[in-house]
């Protein structure tokens, strides 16, 4: 949250279920159409598998499961957002499943509100802020925190998919 | 810019220091080998020079004294003793320390420099006193022998000619370009030519169309006399040309003998004049010319001959030593391997597409492409291969230092130093091998007294051996020490609670116990080993390389540890299998065979999970249920039999598709906790298949069946 200054205000908005989330575009490498994801057996359920991205094997993570929203449907319209994240001190390329990718919008991090203490299913650290666009809310994700090892994704028990 | 030079200096120095260490260790074994001493001197000399140039003043400061000591040894004034080697080795280590400390100079390092400089000076001074008496000590006599090996081998088939070419005075008038003739001559081989220009008159008297010069010099070439003559074929009639072949010995003379000796030998000057000239302190050549004893020309030619010989032999030494190699940053190599890997993948896709399209012309292109890429892949892989010998030297040092520390006597012998292995594998083998060798010295080799009492040579031997074996390399460390003590190991294992007191164990099982985490049989905790970390670390590291460790031991005779390591980590041959809609690759090197099994039989076998195979009963894993793959087993399933580290097991799959060249891609850190999968590979259609970790799966299956036995 304290690191928001100095970043560009451009964010990529996407859906997880009905909720809108956004990540800073500087972290986004490319958005891919849904493709065959190779399942890795014996891995945690939110690790949906791996794909071939430009000759490298890239893990695909289901943020909905990570956040306790039930598994994503691998349907048409589902996208894989390839992101650069910091993971245990290294830069890592990962794919994230999104139920739909909307658009790139300009959001001023200074205008965003701090997440409310209550009523959020997410860990506070994962949320950089909440922006209001018209009458919609967009949750700005701190993507590094979302992948931090051992961070419980949720304050609500899993399986509350709407 | 300077930083770039500095880093290349560091790299070069690092390499030189590596050579220096092995040279010094060899020198200790054969102190009379002047070539080794020269090599050591040259290494230090080069480091000193470059260090001064790039501002590594501290290194330059003390290498000067170290060089001095080596120079004295070369002159035979210092004997090659153990102390001498010790000092030189410590000097080498210190240079390394200074290099890696960067620009920061700690007080500690400075003190070490001072101490070493002091020691060097002391050694030099101490021997100064008694040197006069023994002019014939080791280093002095040896330069007479031509360096064995390198120069001889490299100058094989090459001959050296003396050439004198005096063009006719009118040569310029008919348009001949003398310089291009000389350039042609130089192209035949290694040439050293001296122009003689003293006949050129003063400018006012000079006829610019007249040739006043002549040339003399030497040419070392594979061509024969006629080829040389051919160069001058159009001018021969009007010029005077002399071509004489020179015997090999004369060249070697030129390298080692002094100018005076050469002049005498070539009959330019009688010996008396030389000694007369030598007594005055000017440079010999100048004096002789001044006195009119020889002409300036004769002097220049002889000097050129001396330089020529030097050049030829340096070249030969270079060619023999470094095999005319190019230095390449290892990241570039890694990138190259990645790119080739992508090409291999893309080619597989092309082959598939051309098959689908049934287009003959495309198929032809694809096939040719495939052949080329296979060659490219093999070449690229071979570039990454390094001889393992480079690390062997490090181990000699380990043995030397450690045996002194432990009060034991031991030699390290090596075999198969030129066995080639992938660069990454060699790097990762280093630590496990150091550990094994340390263990051999610490636990294996007995003290000299004990050895004598047992009727053995006081000095123990550790044999480090590398050899190819199919797609693997076997690296063994064998000592002639006491061997493993089965009772002691057993007792220790019981004490540590690793095995139950009454448990029946085979000899092999007992030996395997030393790889158990937290196991150590040393009676006292030494600085070296015996802290309970050790062999289990070795085993884990070798496991992660996809290799195996085997032990054989004989009480009183010694122990042998053999590491079986795959040649490369980047590409393997794999057997592609399908389970449901998922693809897996079993490394072909561990596949023993395939059998079919009807679905009912699989069901009948049921809980026991044992199948007969070639007279054995093997456990198996049903990958479908183990990996929770959705779908039904087909009516006839396939079982792939694979060799794991110390057992065989079967994998039940739906289909065996065939063998498949596999570029291994890591699964990445996010999947580091997943066991049973060692990596991934990209298939022809661009999807990812997973590579089975046979050893891990075998362990998991064993653990599971043990649990069942205990539970039932």
Cα dist from B366 to B148, B350, B363, whole Å: 51, 6, 5
Q: Nearest chain A Cα to B682, which residue?
A: A52
In a domain, A1, yes or no: no
Residue B469, Cβ neighbours under 10 Å: how many? 10
pLDDT score recorded for residue B529:
47
pLDDT score recorded for residue B129:
56
pLDDT score recorded for residue A4:
43
C-beta separation of B669 from B676 below 8 A: no
Q: Chain B partners of A55 at a C-beta cutoff of 8 Å?
A: 338, 341-342, 345, 682
User: Do the chains contact at A57 and B341, CB–CB below 8 Å?
Assistant: no
At residue B464 the predicted structure's pLDDT band, cuts being 50, 70 and 90, is very high
Size of interface A-B (CB pairs under 8 A): 70
Tokens of B334: 């890694």
Q: Nearest chain B Cα to A39, which residue?
A: B582
d(CA B243, CA B228): 8
CA dihedral B117, B123, B124, B126 (to 10 degrees): 140
Beta bridge partners, A60, equal A49, A95
The whole-number average pLDDT for the span B600-610 is: 72
Query: Is residue A2 pLDDT above 50, yes or no?
Result: no
pLDDT score recorded for residue A161:
37
Q: Nearest chain B Cα to A36, which residue?
A: B687
CA dihedral B21, B26, B31, B37 (to 10 degrees): -50
In a domain, A160, yes or no: no
Which of B462, B460, B453, B390 lies closest to B425, judged by CA? B390
Which of A149, A139, A124 lies closest to A66, judged by CA? A149
Q: Which residues contact B682 (CB under 8 A, 6 or more apart)?
A: A52, A55, A57, B345, B663, B665, B688, B689
Strands B214-221 and B189-196, how do they pair? antiparallel
Burial of B305 (0-12, 13-18, 19+ CB in 10 A): buried
Collapsed DSSP state (helix, strand, coil) of residue B221: strand
What does the pLDDT look like over B197-232, one tens digit per residue?
888 888 888 888 888 888 888 888 877 788 888 788
Q: Nearest chain A Cα to B342, which residue?
A: A55
B696 to chain A, any CB pair closer than 8 A? The answer is no
pLDDT score recorded for residue A55:
74
For an interface test with B, which of A56, A88, A95 has the most B Cβ atoms less than 10 Å from its Cβ?
A56
Q: Which residues contact B142 (CB under 8 A, 6 or more apart)?
A: B32, B33, B34, B35, B37
Which of A17, A126, A29 lies closest to A80, judged by CA? A29
B675 to chain A, any CB pair closer than 8 A? The answer is yes
The whole-number average pLDDT for the span A84-108 is: 87
pLDDT score recorded for residue B606:
63
Query: Is residue B280 pLDDT above 70, yes or no?
Result: no
Q: Chain A partners of B338 at a C-beta cutoff of 8 Å?
A: 55
d(CA B450, CA B455): 9
From A104's Cα to the closest Cα of chain B, the distance in A is: 28
User: Do the chains contact at B582 and A38, CB–CB below 8 Å?
Assistant: yes
Range in B3-7, B402-406, B431-435, B574-578 the model is least confident about: B3-7
pLDDT score recorded for residue B103:
64
pLDDT score recorded for residue B515:
81
Decide if the complex's ipTM is over 0.90. no
pLDDT score recorded for residue A50:
94
User: Do the chains contact at A50 and B667, CB–CB below 8 Å?
Assistant: yes
**Mean pLDDT of chain A, nearest integer:** 79
From B318's Cα to the closest Cα of chain A, the distance in A is: 41
In a domain, A156, yes or no: no
Beta bridge partners, A131, equal A138
Q: Domain span at residue A43?
A: 10-147
String of DSSP letters for A7-75: S-SEEEEEEETTEEEEEEGGGEEEEEE--PPBP-TTS-TTEEEEEEETTEEEEEE-HHHHTTS-PPP--
d(CA B304, CA B473): 50
User: Do the chains contact at B682 and A55, CB–CB below 8 Å?
Assistant: yes
Comparing CB atoms, the residue among B669, B687, B690 nearest residue A87 is: B669
d(CA B313, CA B553): 49
Q: Which of residues 82-141 of A touch B (CB under 8 A)?
A: 87-88, 90, 92, 94
Percentage of chain B exceeding pLDDT 90: 6
* Helix (H), strand (E), coil (C) string for B527-563: CCCCCCCCHHHHHHHHHHCCCEEEEEEECCCEEEEEE
Tokens of B530: 């015996």
Q: Nearest chain B Cα to A51, which residue?
A: B688
CA angle A105/A109/A114 to nearest 5° reads 120
Strand order in the sheet with A28-33: A28-33, A79-87, A90-98, A56-61, A47-53
Collapsed DSSP state (helix, strand, coil) of residue B408: coil
CATH of the domain at A122: 2.40.50.180
User: Do the chains contact at B671 and A56, CB–CB below 8 Å?
Assistant: no
At residue A28 the predicted structure's pLDDT band, cuts being 50, 70 and 90, is very high
User: Do the chains contact at B667 and A61, CB–CB below 8 Å?
Assistant: no
Q: Chain A partners of B653 at a C-beta cutoff of 8 Å?
A: none
In a domain, A90, yes or no: yes
At residue A149 the predicted structure's pLDDT band, cuts being 50, 70 and 90, is low
Composition of chain B by helix, strand, coil, percent to 5: 50, 20, 30
Q: Chain A partners of B341 at a C-beta cutoff of 8 Å?
A: 55
A39 to chain B, any CB pair closer than 8 A? The answer is yes
The whole-number average pLDDT for the span B14-27 is: 84
B686 to chain A, any CB pair closer than 8 A? The answer is yes
User: Do the chains contact at B669 and A88, CB–CB below 8 Å?
Assistant: yes
d(CA A122, CA A125): 8
d(CA A30, CA A15): 16
String of DSSP letters for B641-691: EEE-SS-EEEEEESEEEEEEEEE-B---GGGTT--SEEEEEE-TTS-EEEE
Comparing CB atoms, the residue among B626, B669, B682 nearest residue A92 is: B669
In a domain, A4, yes or no: no
From A41's Cα to the closest Cα of chain B, the distance in A is: 5
Q: Nearest chain B Cα to A56, which residue?
A: B665
Distance, first Cα to last Cα, chain A: 29
Which of B263, B307, B305, B267 lies closest to B286, judged by CA? B263
Collapsed DSSP state (helix, strand, coil) of residue A6: coil
User: Do the chains contact at A42 and B686, CB–CB below 8 Å?
Assistant: no
Domain count, chain A: 1
For an interface test with B, which of A35, A39, A143 has the most B Cβ atoms less than 10 Å from its Cβ?
A39
Percentage of chain B exceeding pLDDT 70: 83
Backbone angles phi, psi at B637, to 5 degrees: -95, 165
pLDDT score recorded for residue B417:
86
Comparing CB atoms, the residue among A40, A43, A55 nearest residue B345 is: A55
pLDDT score recorded for residue B456:
87
Comparing CB atoms, the residue among B345, B676, B687 nearest residue A38 is: B687
Burial of B637 (0-12, 13-18, 19+ CB in 10 A): buried
C-beta separation of A102 from A67 below 8 A: no
B631 to chain A, any CB pair closer than 8 A? The answer is no
At residue B343 the predicted structure's pLDDT band, cuts being 50, 70 and 90, is confident
In a domain, A161, yes or no: no
The whole-number average pLDDT for the span B496-501 is: 78
What does the pLDDT look like over B370-415, one tens digit per residue?
889 888 887 887 888 888 887 887 888 888 888 888 888 888 888 8
What does the pLDDT look like over A102-139, one tens digit per residue?
888 888 766 777 766 655 566 777 888 888 877 888 88
Q: What is the pTM of this model?
A: 0.51
In a domain, A118, yes or no: yes
In a domain, A104, yes or no: yes
From A152's Cα to the closest Cα of chain B, the distance in A is: 16
Q: Nearest chain A Cα to B674, which residue?
A: A43
Please give the DSSP secondary-structure letter assigned to residue B517. T
The whole-number average pLDDT for the span B491-497 is: 81
A50 to chain B, any CB pair closer than 8 A? The answer is yes
C-beta separation of B168 from B211 below 8 A: yes
**Mean pLDDT of chain B, nearest integer:** 78
């Amino acid at each position: 949250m304290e690191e928001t200054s100095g970043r560009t205000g451009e964010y990529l908005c996407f859906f997880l279920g009905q909720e809108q989330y956004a990540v800073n575009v500087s972290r986004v490498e490319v958005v891919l159409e849904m493709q065959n994801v190779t399942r890795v057996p014996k891995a945690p359920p939110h690790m949906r598998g791996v794909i071939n991205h430009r000759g490298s094997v890239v893990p695909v993570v289901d943020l909905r499961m990570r956040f306790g929203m039930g598994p994503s449907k691998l349907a048409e319209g589902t996208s894989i957002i390839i992101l650069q994240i910091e993971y245990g001190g290294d830069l890592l390329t990962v794919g994230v499943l999104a139920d739909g990718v909307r658009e790139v919008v300009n959001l001023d991090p200074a205008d965003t509100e701090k997440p409310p203490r209550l009523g959020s299913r997410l860990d506070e650290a994962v949320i950089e802020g909440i922006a209001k666009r018209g009458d919609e809310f967009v949750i700005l994700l701190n993507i590094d925190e979302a992948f931090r090892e051992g961070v419980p994704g949720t304050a609500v028990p899993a399986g509350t998919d709407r | 810019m300077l930083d770039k030079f500095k880093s290349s200096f560091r790299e070069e120095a690092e390499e030189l220091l590596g050579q220096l260490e092995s040279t010094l260790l060899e020198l200790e074994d054969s102190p009379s080998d002047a070539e080794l001493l020269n090599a050591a001197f040259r290494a230090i000399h080069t480091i000193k020079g470059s260090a001064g140039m790039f501002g590594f003043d501290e290194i330059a400061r003390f290498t000067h004294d170290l060089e001095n000591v080596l120079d004295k040894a070369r002159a035979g004034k210092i004997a090659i003793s153990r102390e001498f080697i010790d000092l030189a080795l410590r000097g080498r280590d210190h240079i390394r320390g200074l290099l890696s400390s960067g620009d920061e100079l700690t007080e500690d390092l400075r003190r070490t420099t001072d101490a070493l400089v002091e020691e060097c000076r002391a050694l030099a001074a101490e021997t100064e006193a008694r040197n006069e008496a023994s002019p014939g000590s080791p280093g002095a006599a040896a330069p007479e022998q031509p360096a064995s090996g390198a120069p001889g081998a490299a100058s094989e088939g090459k001959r050296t000619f003396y050439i004198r070419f005096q063009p006719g005075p009118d040569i310029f008038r008919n348009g001949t370009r003398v310089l291009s003739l000389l350039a042609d001559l130089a192209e035949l081989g290694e040439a050293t030519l001296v122009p003689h220009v003293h006949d050129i008159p003063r400018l006012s008297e000079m006829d610019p169309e007249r040739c006043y010069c002549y040339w003399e010099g030497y040419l070392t070439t594979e061509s024969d006399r006629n080829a040389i003559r051919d160069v001058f074929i159009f001018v021969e009639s009007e010029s005077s040309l002399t071509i004489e072949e020179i015997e090999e010995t004369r060249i070697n003379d030129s390298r080692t003998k002094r100018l005076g000796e050469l002049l005498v030998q070539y009959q330019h000057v009688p010996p008396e004049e030389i000694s007369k000239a030598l007594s005055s302190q000017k440079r010999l050549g100048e004096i002789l010319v001044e006195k009119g004893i020889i002409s300036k020309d004769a002097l220049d030619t002889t000097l050129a001959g001396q330089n020529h010989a030097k050049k030829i032999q340096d070249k030969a030494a270079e060619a023999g030593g470094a095999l005319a190699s190019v230095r390449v940053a290892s990241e570039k190599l890694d990138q190259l391997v990645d790119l080739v890997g992508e090409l291999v993948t893309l080619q597989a896709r092309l082959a598939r597409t051309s098959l689908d399209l049934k287009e003959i012309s495309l198929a032809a292109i694809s096939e040719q492409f495939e052949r080329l890429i296979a060659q490219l892949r093999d070449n690229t892989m071979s570039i990454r291969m390094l001889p393992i010998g480079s690390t062997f030297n490090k181990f000699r040092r380990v043995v030397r230092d450690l045996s002194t520390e432990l009060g034991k006597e031991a030699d390290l012998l090596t075999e198969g130093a030129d066995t080639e292995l992938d660069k990454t594998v060699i790097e990762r083998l280093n630590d496990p091998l150091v550990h094994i060798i340390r263990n051999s010295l610490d636990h294996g080799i007995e003290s000299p007294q004990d050895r004598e009492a047992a009727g053995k040579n006081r000095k123990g031997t550790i044999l480090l051996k590398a050899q190819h074996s199919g797609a693997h390399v076997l690296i063994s460390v064998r000592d002639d020490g006491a061997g493993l003590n089965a009772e002691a190991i057993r007792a220790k294992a019981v004490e540590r609670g690793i095995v139950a007191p009454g448990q029946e164990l085979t000899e092999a099982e007992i030996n395997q116990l030393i790889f158990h985490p937290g196991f150590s049989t040393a009676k006292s905790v030494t600085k070296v080993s015996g802290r309970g970390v050790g062999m289990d670390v070795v085993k884990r590291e070798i496991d992660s390389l996809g290799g195996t460790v085997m032990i054989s031991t004989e009480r009183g005779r010694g122990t042998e540890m053999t590491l079986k390591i795959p040649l490369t980590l980047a590409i393997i041959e794999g057997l592609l299998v399908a389970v449901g809609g998922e693809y897996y690759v079993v490394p072909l090197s561990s596949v023993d065979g395939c059998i079919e099994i009807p679905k009912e039989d699989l069901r009948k076998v049921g809980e026991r999970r044992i199948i007969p195979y070639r007279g054995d009963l093997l456990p198996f894993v049903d990958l479908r249920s183990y990996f929770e793959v959705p779908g039904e087993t087909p009516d006839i399933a396939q079982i792939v039999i694979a060799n794991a580290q110390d057992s065989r097991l079967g994998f039940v799959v739906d289909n065996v598709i065939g063998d498949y060249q596999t570029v291994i891609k890591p699964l990445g850190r996010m999947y580091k906790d997943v066991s049973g999968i060692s990596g991934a590979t990209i298939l022809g259609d661009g999807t990812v298949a997973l590579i089975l970790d046979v050893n891990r799966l075998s362990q998991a299956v064993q653990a599971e069946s043990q649990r069942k036995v205990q539970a039932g």
